[in-house]
Amino acid sequence: MIWRKGRSVQSWNYIVAGYVATSIPIDEGRPLPLQIFGPQAWFGEQPLINKQATHFEYTCLTPVEVIGMRKKSFDSAIAEEPDFMHYIAKLIAGRSQQQSEMLMLMRLGSSPLRVVMGLAQYAEALANSAAPRSSGLQKGEVDLPITQQQIAALCGVSRTLFSEYLQLLARDGWLKVRYGGIELQSLQTWRIFARKQRECQSIRSRASLLELLDDMACAHEEIGPQGFPNLMTRRWLRLQTQSLCRAVPEAC
């Protein structure tokens, strides 16, 4: 544990190695993960700016090495460097929105949604990392740095139920299961899926895993050749065909 909820934050921290989760404690003290930070990410700026104790818990998911900018230096940079202030304001706005959306998804969502979004958070942390790209990461494949048991606990599901969901995700090719661990496939698909779930205005809080697998497939359709966005997805073509049929019935 780096900081518990209600603790004063005295530095803006930079992750040299490892993974840190921000979470809020809910029923029986179980953490509800809202965001995961990986190597070369900074965290802890919001309580420094607000000059208040942190509303979240910051927990090490793996062995972590961090360095920090002390509060006094942080405050001086905010006061004297407009570009730094602008960067921090933009960072807080983006993270606050993401945390709010994740809170709704993870708190109201079904067990399958919590598991798939929990895995997607790791994909986002890995893809957003400024660390040098490994060959696996460049291919969109990467091993998660923590065990299946840890992820199941973070998502608030039993190990048995978690394993069942993994098998279905593996069947469709979104991950590979190895003894005690997981290798995510197509990080870009996971990132698009997570973004779409957070942006969704009408949340399907009781979404089944089969519905989420369909959402994953739709997210993957947005990836075109060489990783560029694919604007002509099957869903887009289906909508265009339906429009054509309404306009010119004899063409269908």
Q: pLDDT at position 232, please?
A: 42
Percent of the chain with pLDDT over 70: 80
Give the architecture-level CATH label for domain 1-108.
Answer: Sandwich (2.60)
Domain ranges of the chain: 1-108, 110-221
Q: pLDDT at position 229, please?
A: 45
Give the architecture-level CATH label for domain 110-221.
Answer: Orthogonal Bundle (1.10)
Give the residue-averaged pLDDT of 84-93: 94
Cβ pair 18, 39 in contact under 8 A = yes
Assign 247 a pLDDT band (cuts: 50, 70, 90): low
CA torsion 212→154→38→65, rounded to 10°? Answer: -170
DSSP summary character for residue 134: P
Assign 27 a pLDDT band (cuts: 50, 70, 90): low
Q: Residue 185: which H helix or E strand, with range?
A: strand 181-185
Cβ pair 172, 216 in contact under 8 A = yes
| Burial of residue 188, with CB atoms counted within 10 A of its CB: 0-12 exposed, 13-18 middle, 19 or more buried | middle
Least confident of 27-31, 74-78, 79-83, 178-182: 27-31
Tally of CA atoms within 13 A in the half-sphere of 140 that contains its CB: 16
How high is the mean pLDDT of the chain?
Answer: 82
Q: pLDDT at position 137, please?
A: 52
pLDDT, tens digit (0-9, with 9 covering 90-100), for 119-168: 988 888 877 664 444 445 556 778 888 888 888 888 888 899 999 999 99
